[in-house]
Chain A
C-alpha cells in the first residue's frame, strides 16, 4: 500500500518507538500540550537522563520535536507522523487484529467447552 520506502521506514520507527510503555505515556502526556523534560520526568521513577533518552528515540521516530531557541526547550508532539500512523490501512489492521484476538479467546472457550 505504502510505496514510498522511506515513509514505510519512518512508520516502522514510529511503531517500534511506541512499543515502549514509558514512551507511550510520554506521548500520551504530550497529547495534552507541550512539556519540558523535567515535567515529563515527574511521574516516572527513572532518572531525567533516561527520560531524555526516551525523548531522543521519539524525536528520531519523528513523533516529537523540541523548540531550539527557548530556554526551557519544551517538547512538542508532531502530529504529522501520528496522522500517518492513523492512516486508514493501519486503523483497519488494528481493528481487525483486535477483533481476531477476541476470536482467539472465543475459540479457546470453545475448546474448554468440548473438553468438559
Chain B
C-alpha cells in the first residue's frame, strides 16, 4: 500500500502543485530532504545515477547535482535554498542547465499529521507556461528519440506500480 501523490497544474498559469503523505514522522521526512546521502537515494528519475556535487540544505545554501544514465548522458541541475526552516518549510530555486535561466521557484511545506505520519505539499512557479511544460518533459526526455521509448518507460512504470 502506498500513499497516493496528487498533482495539479492549473490551466493557463505556470504553476504545479503536489501533495503526498508519508508513513513517517515529519522530522524523518525533513531529514531525508536535508542529508545528501539520503537525498541521493531517492531523488531524480530511475535508471539515472545521481552525483551530488553540493547540497547545503539551509537558508542561503546552494545545491547542484548531475544525473547520468547508462549511455553516459549527463544532465545537471542547480539552485539555491532561499529559506529553510527545520521540519516546516523550504523555498528553493531550480535550474535545468540545458535550459539556463528558465528558473523555477519551488516551496515545500512539511506538516506533522500525528501518529508518526506527515505530509509534504509542494508548489512550483515557472517563468512561463512553455517553461513549465518544456522543462518537465525536456528533463525527462533527454536522450529519448522515439515515441516507443516513452511507451516502454510508461509500461515499466505501470508494471512497477502494479507489482
Contact surface of A with B, Cβ cutoff 8 Å: 1, 3, 18-19, 21, 24, 27-28, 31, 79, 82-83, 85-86, 88-108, 110-111
Contacts and interface: CB of A to CB of B under 8 A. Distances in A.
Interface in B106-163: 133, 136-137, 140, 147-148, 150-152, 154-155, 157-162
A94 B137 CA distance: 12
- Judged by DSSP, the binding face of B is helix
Interface stretch (B17-25, B58-66, B97-105): B17-25
A27 B42 CA distance: 29
Contacts of A93: 5, 7
Nearest to A88: B137
The 8 closest A-B pairs by CB, nearest first: A102-B42, A107-B24, A103-B42, A88-B137, A94-B157, A1-B9, A93-B7, A31-B148
A51 B83 CA distance: 56
Contacts of A3: 11
Contacts, number: 103
Interface residues of B, number: 42
Interface of B: 2-3, 5, 7-11, 16, 18, 20, 22-24, 28-29, 31-32, 38, 41-46, 133, 136-137, 140, 147-148, 150-152, 154-155, 157-162
A110 B157 CA distance: 25
A101 to B, nearest CB: 6
A92 to B, nearest CB: 5
A107 B150 CA distance: 30
B29 A96 contact: no
Contact of A106 (B5, B41, B46): B41
A24 B10 CA distance: 31
